[in-house]
Every structure is written in structure tokens, then in C-alpha cells.
């Protein structure tokens, strides 16, 4: 029995998996169009970048921290990863919607059935090696499947199932007994007995494609927020307003904050992944796992990205804020699109609760050299008008500085928005981290802080040093935050306007018998918080209660309205973050409360057949 166990282990360790069929460098020629799109995000075989076919080995450690030890060789490098599960990125049930244009009813949103966690996979990270990978197993043969990035430029994708048995594995004479197991264990135990219990017992392997991602040599941009008061009022208060902004009230942020990201994928992004909903979901879980990895360096408060939901656009007109601002065939006026996105989200109430909304697009973003925008006619008329205008390309992202949690009531616009360009292969990860950095209060390195935020700014850090909040990201610093950015995060996250980020997306609670919202009106709740009144008193308060902030002049979300608060037409109350008709003898599910940015009145938006979950349908 012992000799049989030893033989099994040696087989796992040293056998080279070779099925003489397809040489590794010709494997892409046997892929169909959808597989090319899913793996390389290209449409034809001649567009495939240089790649290597690798056999990735994984050891799973049986412990509470759920470690995985992964090793492989690619492009002449031996990579040994110690991966830890990222538990905060995705809830147990990640919700996803499709958005389709409807000529008679506007945009139609439909929630898709939820896949199991086994189908999607689990997010893992190795901070020291800057690896962010989604790991799952083939439901038919149990093969190890990894999807994500390692370091600054290596993309890892699983080989399609139909090609795994036909692929010729690269030469490999490395023993499976990885050094991470520990020399002491190996010496004391000799060859491991497969029947013995050991923390690294589970081992798997799988064939993968590894290639270098595209380098986007372009810059990101940002906009400053407009005041939430009329110009006449602002003129009288300008001097004292700037001074108060610099000395704004500080509060202690929690040890960890969780910005909840609503991910909106445009139509070309949907097509980029072969029109496969599950593949889109996996890609963007991996994508935001990579963004979250860039924030792991921050200490006190820590920033942990969480995905609030994913919306897939099934037609170009499902993102009117983009289509209205197209320049020619493939470019996008980023500043105007960001404004229209904020105004659309102010009016749209059918979306899940979130803190930050990020549109990921394949369009080539640009900035118009001259002022002006299309203010009349159809989207096609606007595109023709812009076709001959000068629009400087090279912008890869756009966001408002300090926009997180902020809504401009006067302009009816959500400021907690960003647009990020991604052409596949996770090319937009650093851009997304950069734009979220703007929303969390950072300007570009070398720039002063805007007057409405105050704080340290970034003038003490040189643009040329090439950190994340610069665009000269050509060294390892391009994946790190400058000291100035870290100081700005501290300033913003401990300030008044960041409090919508304080709620954990995984918080559960038990419903009290006497609902607090029945004891305090919305105005009374705002008076308790800031000594002011509520900005809105409709159904949006259940997601976030926006109170007027006298210091900044903005409507600021501090928290959702208390359970039981009046909302909607007055005969409804807030339950679990939604405005529902009250039934006295029904105790609602209190486990789904999550923070949200404002979602404004939809009276000017065409209707849709969006269906709520049965638990809240009235």
C-alpha cells in the first residue's frame, strides 16, 4: 500500500502531460471567434499577441485563511505565488442585470439568474507578487482554472476545455514538491502518504495561456465639482466658503471602508467577451480584484473594494450618456459623457444600491479642445456634429475629484461616477484604480488640492516620479501610491463627505421591534447628524439619507434612513434599504442593507418592466 502511494505521488510530481496533437504556439489557430474574444479579446487569429502555454500547479492549504500555493513558468520567469482569498470583493450572491434599449419604454433592465459560487470562482491575491486571480474548477473534469493578472503585465487565462486534452504541454522536469511545503515536513515524513492528513493535501493542475497585456500609454483626467448653490449665492460666500472647506470637520473613519462599485459594461465591452454573460462576470470580478489589490497598501483606514452589481449593456443605446457624446465612430468626449452619466444616474432609480458607479467602455476617450457640446437633436445628429471637431485622444479615464458620496441637488447630478477605458486583457485596472483615487479625494501628483476639499494636495510629490496618480507609470512605482496620495486619502476618508463608505457591504443585523424611523422624521435624523434638514424625502432615502451640509454646501449622504422611515407616497416605509408598503405582521429581511449613492426621481425617465425580487414586490 505504501509503495502504491509513493508511486501515485511520483506520478503527480514528474509526469509530463503530453498528448501529441497541437504544438503550444499553434493552439490559438484552433480557437473559434468566441474563444479568441474570451481569452485574448481580439476578433481574428492574426491579432493574437505573443503567448505561452503553461501548466499551472496549485496546492491548497487546509486552514482558515484559505491559502493556495501556485507555481508556473512563463516568459523565462519562475513564479511562485502564495495566494490568499479576498473575502470582501463579492457577496455570496453577486447580482447582474442586462440593459436593453426599448423604443417604446426607454431602457429595460432585467436581472439575470444568479450562478453558484462554484461557477463564478473565488478571488485570490498575492500582495508581494501583485497577483490577482479568480480561481475555479471545470464542472466536468475538475481541471484547475485561473483567470487574472500577475505583476504589472502578465495575463493568465484558462485554455478552452475542448483544447486541453489536445494541447502539448511545454517541457517541464520540475518536481511537484514545492519548497513552500517546508523542508522540515519533507525530511521528517519522506514521501507523503496520500491517506495522511496534511495541510497541503489537495493538489490540482491546469493548462493555461499566459500573455503580456497591452500597455496603455495615455493619461487620465479629472473634473472639479460644481458648487451646489447658484452663482449669486456663491459670489457672496466665496471667501468664507474656501476657508471653511480647508478646515472642514474631521471624524474618525472606521478601520476598514468598503466602496461599493456598480460596474456598468458598455455594449462593445459585452461583445469583447464573446457576448457570454458568465465570462463577462468572471472578467470583471478578476478586474476589480486587481483594482482592490492596488489599495491594499493603504493603512488606517484601509480601503477594500466591493462589487455592488454588474450591468451589461445589450445595445449601444442602453448607455445614452455615452452614445450622445460619441466623436466619430470610436471616440468619446469624456467630460461631456461624465456629466451626462451623473445626470442619468440622478434620475434612474431602478439600479442596485452603490457608492460609486463606474462605466467601463471600449471607446477611445478624448477631451474636446474647444468648449461646447451637442444640446439638440438625436444622438446621430450629435455624432455628425462632433465628427469634424478636434478631440484630443489619449485620455483613458475621467472622474470627479472628491466625488464619492456627493450629489449636486442644484444640477441634479450624481458626482460619484467615473468612466474607464478597457480594451481587454485587464488593460484598464490601473486606470480604474487611478479614477477611484480621484473620487476618494486625490488630485494628480504635483497639483494643489481643490478649494472645496482642502487638505494637503499633492504639490510635494513630483509628477515625474510616476506613481499611480501620475500618468508616467513606466516603473514599479506606477503600481504604488505616492506619499501625497496617501495623505489625501487620510484627509478625505476622515472628512464629512466620505461617510457613505463606512458601512460594510457584508453587515448583517437584527431588526429591532420598535423601528427607529417611526420615532424620528427624516429632518429630525438629519438634525441629529448635522443640525440641518433632509434634501430628499422620497423613496431614495432608504438607500441613502442625504442631508444638507452647511460647511461644504452639498447634499451629503451619511447613512441610509433609519428602518421604518417614511418614504415614497407617505404610505410606505424603509425596509432593508427599499421603500415598501408596510404590513404590520411581517418582519422584513434586514440582512441586505448596503450603502448607496442617491438615485433620483424617475419622473422624466421612460418606464421599464424592471422586476423587483418577490420579497419586496407589492
Contact criterion met (CB below 8 Å) for 545 and 526: yes
Q: Is 438 annotated as a binding residue?
A: yes
Q: Is 592 annotated as a binding residue?
A: no
Q: For residue 164, which phi and psi values (nearest 5 degrees)?
A: -65, -45
% of the chain residues with pLDDT over 90: 33
Mean local confidence (pLDDT), 244-264: 68
Whether the pLDDT of residue 228 is over 90: the answer is: no
What local confidence, expressed as pLDDT, does residue 219 receive? Answer: 60
For the four alpha carbons of 202, 204, 210 and 214, in that order, the dihedral sign comes to negative
% of the chain residues with pLDDT over 70: 70
Whether the pLDDT of residue 101 is over 60: the answer is: yes
Mean local confidence (pLDDT), 330-342: 93
C-alpha cell at 551: 460647511
For 538-593, the pLDDT digits (tens) are: 888 888 888 888 877 888 876 788 777 888 776 788 876 778 875 433 323 323 33
- Output the CA torsion 437→443→446→452 (10° steps): -150
Q: Is 108 annotated as a binding residue?
A: no
Q: pLDDT-derived band of residue 339, with 50, 70 and 90 as boundaries? A: very high
Q: Which of 196, 435, 507, 563 is catalytic?
A: 435
Q: Is 435 a catalytic residue?
A: yes
Of 384-393, 446-455, 464-473, 570-579, where does the model show the most confidence? 446-455
C-alpha cell at 559: 447613512
CA gap 94, 120 in Å, rounded: 10
Question: Considering only 245-254, 322-331, 435-444, which range has the smallest mean pLDDT?
Answer: 245-254
The DSSP line for 3-56 is: HHHHHHHHHHHH---B-SSB-GGGGGGG--HHHHHHHH--SSGGGPPPEEEEEE
Whether the pLDDT of residue 422 is over 50: the answer is: yes
Q: pLDDT-derived band of residue 182, with 50, 70 and 90 as boundaries? A: very low
C-alpha cell at 6: 509513493
Whether the pLDDT of residue 134 is over 90: the answer is: yes
Domain ranges, ordered by start, for the chain: 2-111+136-212
For 380-411, the pLDDT digits (tens) are: 434 444 444 577 777 789 999 999 999 888 88
310: which residues sit within 8 A by CB, 6+ positions away? 94, 95, 96, 97, 263, 265, 280, 281, 284
Contact criterion met (CB below 8 Å) for 436 and 453: no
Q: What is the pTM of this model?
A: 0.72
The DSSP line for 497-534 is: GGGGG-S-TT------SS-GGGTS-HHHHHHHHHSS-B
CA gap 30, 45 in Å, rounded: 9
For residue 471, the cross-strand partners are: none
| Higher per-residue confidence, 428 vs 479 | 428
CA gap 445, 457 in Å, rounded: 8
Q: For residue 542, which phi and psi values (nearest 5 degrees)?
A: -70, -25
Of 51-55, 215-219, 531-535, where does the model show the most confidence? 51-55
What local confidence, expressed as pLDDT, does residue 62 receive? Answer: 55
Whether the pLDDT of residue 195 is over 90: the answer is: no
Report the alpha-carbon angle 92-94-100, nearest 5.
165
What local confidence, expressed as pLDDT, does residue 61 receive? Answer: 63
Amino acid at each position: 500500500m505504501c509503495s502504491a502511494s509513493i508511486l501515485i505521488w511520483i506520478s503527480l510530481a514528474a509526469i509530463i502531460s503530453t498528448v501529441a496533437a497541437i504544438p503550444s504556439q499553434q493552439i490559438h489557430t484552433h480557437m473559434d471567434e468566441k474563444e479568441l474574444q474570451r481569452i485574448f479579446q481580439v476578433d481574428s487569429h492574426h491579432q493574437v499577441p505573443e503567448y505561452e502555454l503553461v501548466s499551472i500547479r496549485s496546492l491548497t492549504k487546509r486552514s482558515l485563511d484559505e491559502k493556495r500555493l501556485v507555481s508556473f513558468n512563463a516568459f523565462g520567469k519562475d513564479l511562485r505565488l502564495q495566494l490568499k482569498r479576498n473575502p470582501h470583493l463579492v457577496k455570496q450572491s453577486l447580482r447582474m442585470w442586462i440593459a436593453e434599449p426599448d423604443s417604446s419604454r426607454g431602457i429595460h433592465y432585467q436581472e439575470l439568474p444568479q450562478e453558484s459560487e462554484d461557477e463564478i470562482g473565488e478571488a485570490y491575491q498575492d500582495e508581494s507578487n501583485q497577483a490577482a486571480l479568480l480561481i475555479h474548477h471545470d464542472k466536468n473534469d475538475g481541471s484547475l482554472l485561473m483567470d487574472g493578472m500577475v505583476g504589472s503585465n502578465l495575463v493568465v487565462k484558462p485554455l478552452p476545455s475542448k483544447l486541453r486534452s489536445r494541447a502539448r504541454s511545454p517541457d517541464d522536469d520540475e518536481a511537484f514538491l514545492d519548497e513552500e511545503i517546508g523542508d522540515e515536513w519533507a525530511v521528517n515524513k519522506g514521501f507523503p502518504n496520500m491517506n495522511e492528513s496534511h495541510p497541503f493535501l489537495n493538489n490540482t493542475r491546469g493548462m493555461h495561456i499566459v500573455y503580456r497585456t497591452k500597455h496603455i500609454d495615455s493619461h487620465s483626467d479629472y473634473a472639479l465639482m460644481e458648487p451646489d448653490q447658484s452663482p449669486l449665492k456663491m459670489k457672496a460666500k466665496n471667501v468664507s466658503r474656501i476657508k471653511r472647506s480647508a478646515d472642514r470637520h474631521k471624524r474618525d473613519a472606521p478601520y476598514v471602508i468598503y466602496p461599493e462599485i456598480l460596474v456598468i459594461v458598455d455594449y462593445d465591452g459585452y461583445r469583447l467577451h464573446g457576448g457570454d454573460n458568465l465570462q463577462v462576470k468572471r472578467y470583471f470580478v478578476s478586474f476589480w480584484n486587481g483594482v482592490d489589490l492596488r489599495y491594499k497598501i493603504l493603512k488606517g483606514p484601509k480601503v477594500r473594494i466591493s462589487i455592488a452589481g454588474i450591468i451589461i449593456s445589450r445595445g449601444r443605446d442602453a448607455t445614452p450618456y455615452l452614445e450622445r457624446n460619441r466623436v466619430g465612430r470610436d471616440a468619446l468626449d469624456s467630460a461631456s459623457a461624465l456629466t451626462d452619466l451623473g445626470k442619468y444616474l440622478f434620475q434612474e432609480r431602478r439600479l442596485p444600491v452603490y457608492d460609486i458607479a463606474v462605466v467601463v467602455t471600449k471607446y477611445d476617450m478624448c477631451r474636446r479642445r474647444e468648449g461646447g457640446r451637442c444640446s439638440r437633436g438625436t444622438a446621430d445628429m450629435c455624432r455628425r456634429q462632433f465628427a469634424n471637431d478636434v478631440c484630443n485622444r489619449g485620455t483613458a479615464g475621467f472622474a470627479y475629484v472628491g466625488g464619492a458620496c456627493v450629489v449636486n441637488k442644484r444640477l441634479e447630478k450624481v458626482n460619484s461616477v467615473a468612466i474607464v477605458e478597457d480594451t481587454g486583457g485587464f488593460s484598464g485596472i490601473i486606470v480604474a484604480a487611478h479614477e477611484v483615487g480621484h473620487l476618494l479625494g486625490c488630485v494628480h501628483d504635483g497639483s494643489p488640492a481643490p478649494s472645496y476639499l482642502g487638505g494637503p494636495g499633492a504639490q510635494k510629490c513630483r509628477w515625474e516620479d510616476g506613481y499611480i496618480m501620475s500618468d508616467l507609470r513606466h516603473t514599479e512605482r506606477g503600481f504604488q501610491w505616492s506619499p501625497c496620495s496617501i495623505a489625501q486619502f487620510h484627509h478625505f476618508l476622515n472628512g464629512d463627505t466620505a461617510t457613505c463608505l463606512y458601512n460594510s457591504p457584508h453587515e448583517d443585523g437584527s431588526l429591532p421591534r420598535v423601528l427607529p424611523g417611526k420615532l424620528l422624521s427624516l429632518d429630525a435624523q438629519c438634525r441629529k447628524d448635522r443640525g440641518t434638514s433632509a434634501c430628499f424625502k422620497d423613496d431614495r432615502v432608504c438607500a441613502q439619507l442625504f442631508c444638507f451640509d452647511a460647511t461644504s454646501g452639498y447634499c451629503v449622504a451619511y447613512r441610509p434612513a433609519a428602518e421604518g422611515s417614511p418614504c415614497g407616497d407617505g404610505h410606505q416605509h424603509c425596509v432593508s434599504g427599499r421603500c415598501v408598503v408596510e404590513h404590520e405582521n411581517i418582519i422584513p429581511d434586514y440582512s441586505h442593507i448596503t450603502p448607496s449613492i442617491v438615485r433620483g426621481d424617475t419622473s422624466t425617465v421612460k418606464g421599464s418592466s424592471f422586476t423587483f425580487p418577490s420579497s419586496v414586490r407589492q
